Structure 1
Amino acid sequence: MTVVNNPGSWGHIYSPLEHSAWHGCTPADLIFPFFLFIVGVSVVYAMETKKADPVNHSKMIWAALRRAVILIAISLITQLIFHPGFANLRFPGVLQRIGLVFFVCVILYIKTSQKTRDWITGVLLVGYYLIVCFVPVPGIGYANLDPETNMGAWIDRAVFTTNHLWVHSRTWDPEGLLGTLPAIATGLIGMRAATWLKRTDVDEHVKTSWLFTYGVVATVLGLAWGLIFPINKALWTSSFVLYTGGLAIISLAACYWLIDVNGRKKYTSFFVPFGVNAITAYVLSMYIPYYIGKLKFKESSIYQLLFEPYLSPLNASLAYALLMLLLVWMVVGILYRKKIIIKV
């Protein structure tokens, strides 16, 4: 997302690094659902031992709530730093959705069985489909999937008002309330994959084979469902959940097979610092470009001085984004070498 969110010029972006205009799915659209998927995976790995003792449950839930509140606060404070004033403060957002999904997934992991979570995943996906596609939208009179008139957009305007929605629209929000329900299902799919991956009674080769199988099945189901309920990141449609969840499972299986089973760790060193301090890296990817963009040399920005004169518009824009990625990597790399892990 550091590369996607920080091009040198928003008018010159390679198509795989752009989000879909509405229906459809680009590589950039995979990043957020993959992150929520791995949030679900991490819940299992971090809490399986503590979960076994009911005495810990209350403390675990309070800790999860604290983390969710901190994530939401980081987003709101960052907005106020970049754009002072509460009048147009956006209430939904990426970190807000991560916090809510994490909190709900923790509760479900602690208090329910895997079988129950599987049923909840199905109910969330089917229920969301029925709400969005069949429940009439107040003031509109019919269910629809258009940006400004779908049920999710109506709920967000009613709850937050237009002043506190996505700055590029103010009439709807891609991280709105209703879309958080299927986003929870994305986290639950990650929890299901981790539960399978952590089994000790199954050979690692069998684990990998079945993960690939689950991933392919989910992807195909997502594509099939997409024929009547289009794959759409902004709406976080049920087909989008299955399609991206399937691809995430396949990606996890591939990483598990290459890195854990076959020990191919030579090329992972660049990525580890990002994973160790993932939220820190995400926050830095907002702050570093923001302040770098304010630097001026004889009225010219760094992009205008170092990239624009020497490269094609597309390559100049990409090169600037890669520079932002490198700067973020340098900071999280220093933290990693010093064994500093910033937890929220």
Structure 2
Amino acid sequence: MNAKSIIEKPNRLLSLDVFRGATIAAMILVNDPGDWGHIYPPLEHSKWNGCTPTDLVFPFFLFMVGVAVVYAMENKKATMPHGKLLLNALRRTVILLLIPWITQLIFHPEGGLAHLRLPGVLPRIALVYFICTILYLKTSQKTRDWVFAFALVGYFIIMTCIPVPGVGYANLEPETNMGAWIDRLVFTTNHLWRESHTWDPEGLLGTLPAVATGLFGIRVGSWLKRKDRDENVKVSWMFTYGVLAVVAGLIWDLFFPINKALWTSSFVLYTGGLATIALALSYWLIDVQGRKRFTYFFVVFGANAITAYVLSGFIPHYMGMIKIGGVSLYQTLFVPYFSPVNASLASAIFTVAVLWLVMWIFYVKKIFIKI
């Protein structure tokens, strides 16, 4: 992370910060329950196939990565050397890769480098960001559309048609699918998801369709950025694109199930369509209709989105170390007054509020930390 805070007024649509801020708030909410044994049901991921509201959070963020690439790069790519832009993108990618690895070593020093989980949320964001930046700078929209299609169809063929070594047939089960086999081969079991060690929900092969999610965002961002279209026309077509993508995803779900852990092609279309609809609604309400009264809360998160996410791994950890009369904050503030599930939810909301206060200080001081 750049040690120097960059103080500036972000030059982007308000709806983009609101959408990103809402996504980050939701990520913090689902990642920091008070008790992992009593998670509020809507905040749980689907067991395998299917899609809960929680499963929408990560693809929505990757979708916004694609949109942000357009808004960050469109003017620069015509005036700045592409090599310099790619070098900056590479620097940011390396930082995003290093943050979770360093964090793991801080919180789990007993595992050391020998048991460091290499895949993860931030590494996937980093790879999608870097690949999408290259594609945006070096290819046309038509080429990106072809890459999008080949990524989805190619991933479908790999996962459903190519026999998995050691298994003998293609399948979509957690430990025996092609993606899990590649992760064990490349990373070894010591460097995969701690809950399993045999597969990883942010595995290497799944990066291919995840890039397609980023390209979905680039396509929508490029449309939103156009100056030769009326705002109402933009919104109408975004709704149309979104609905068509959702329908296509549901049809593909019949033979390639919607699945977040595998990031299936149907999942890309379904969540990308919903993200497009949500962004269209935000854009129409906030930037077209001027309804900005309730946006401030989310703008505070959206202006420092990655910073908020990174701090969400630190602040709850240290909050858990605070004791009142020898009892944790969770046991003191929530357990006596709520049912187990509602206590867990109340604690998660409290965590979001604490992080918002930190981000609010940054926002008021006009500190926007660029990675």
TM bin, normalised by shorter chain, reads: over 0.9
Q: Deviations over 1:202-246 (max 9, x none)?
A: 111011000000000000100110010000000000000000000
Q: Which amino acid aligns with 1:70?
A: I
Q: Deviations over 1:58-111 (max 9, x none)?
A: 001111011000001011001111001112110001000000000000000000
Secondary structure, aligned partner of 1:118: helix
Match of 2:219 in 1: 192
2-structure distance, mates of 1:297, 1:90: 34
- Work out the CA distance in 2 between the residues paired with 1:290 and 1:157: 30
Q: Distance in 2 between matches of 1:293 and 1:139?
A: 44
Question: Where does 1:204-223 land on structure 2 (aligned, <5 Å)?
Answer: 204-223=231-250
Measure the CA separation in 2 of the matches of 1:295 and 1:23.
38
Given the alignment, which residue of 201, 220, 228 partners 2:228?
A: 201
In 1: Cα distance, 2:197 partner to 2:326 partner: 32
Alignment pair present for 1:16 and 2:42? yes
Amino acid paired to 1:100? L
Q: After the TM superposition, list the runs of 4 or more consecutive aligned residues in structure 1 that deviate by more than 4 angstroms.
A: none
Counterpart residue number, 1:28: 54
SS in 2 for 1:270: helix
Residue 97 of structure 2 corresponds to residue 59 of structure 1: no
CA distance in 2 between partners of 1:65 and 1:341 (Å): 20
Range with greater deviation from structure 2 (216-225 or 79-88) = 79-88
Match of 1:226 in 2: 253
Matched, 1:95 2:116: no
Higher relative contact order (CA 8 A, sep 6+): 2
> Paired residue for 1:270, among 275, 289, 297?
297
2 CA distance for matches of 1:300 and 1:125?
A: 50
Using the TM superposition, give the Cα deviation of residue 335 of structure 1 relative to its aligned residue in structure 2, in angstroms. 0.2
Q: Which amino acid aligns with 1:180?
A: T
TM-score, length-normalised on structure 1? 0.99
* Aligned mates of 1:301, 1:204 — CA distance in 2: 51
Equivalent residue number for residue 109 of structure 1 = 136
The whole-number CA distance in structure 1 between the counterparts of 2:337 and 2:309 is 29
What's the counterpart of residue 82 of structure 1? 107
Structure 2 unpaired stretches of 5+: 1-26
Deviation at 1:304, TM superposition (A): 0.5
**How many pairs were matched up?**
343
Question: Which secondary structure state, in structure 2, belongs to the residue aligned with residue 265 of structure 1?
Answer: coil
Q: Which residue identity does 1:72 align to in structure 2?
A: L
Secondary structure of 2:75 counterpart: helix
CA distance in 2, matches of 1:318, 1:188: 34
| Whole-Å separation in 1 of the counterparts to 2:201 and 2:186 | 15
Counterpart code for 2:70: V
| Aligned twin of 2:369 | 342
1:131 equivalent in structure 2: 158
Q: Residue 180 of structure 2 aligns to which amino acid in structure 1?
A: A
- Higher mean alpha-carbon deviation, 231-240 vs 196-205, is at 196-205
In the alignment, which residue of structure 1 is the partner of 2:72?
A: 46
Partner amino acid, structure 2, of 1:18: E
Amino acid at match of 2:96: L
TM-score w.r.t. the length of structure 2 is 0.91
- How far residue 343 of structure 1 moved from its aligned partner, in angstroms, is 0.8
**1:94 is aligned with what amino acid?**
V
Query: Equivalent residue for 1:70?
Result: 95
CA displacement, residues 302-338 of structure 1 (integer Å, 9 cap, x when unaligned): 1111110111111111110011001100001100000
The answer for the alignment partner of 2:188 in structure 1 is 161
| Residue 138 of structure 1: how far off its partner (Å) | 0.5
Correspondence 1:145 to 2:172: yes
CA distance in 2, matches of 1:300, 1:72: 36
Secondary structure of 1:174's partner?
Answer: coil
Q: C-alpha separation between the residues in 2 aligned to 1:212 and 1:274?
A: 25
In structure 1, the gaps of 5 or more residues are none
CA distance in 1, matches of 2:242, 2:152: 17
Matches within 5 A, 1:166-315: 166-315=193-342
**Amino acid of the residue matched to residue 207 of structure 1?**
K
| C-alpha distance in structure 2 between counterparts of 1:101 and 1:69, whole Å | 12
Q: CA deviation at 1:297?
A: 2.7
Aligned-residue offset at 1:169:
0.4
Deviation by residue 1:7-63 (Cα, 9 ceiling, x = unmatched): 11112122210001110100110010000000000000011011124x520001111
Following the alignment from structure 1 to structure 2, what is the Cα–Cα distance between the partners of residues 83 and 115? 46
- Counterpart amino acid of residue 10 in structure 1: W
Q: Quote the offset at 1:296 in angstroms.
A: 2.2
Q: Aligned partners of 2:185 and 2:144: how far apart in 1?
A: 30
Q: Residues of 2 paired with 1:247 and 1:93: CA distance? A: 23
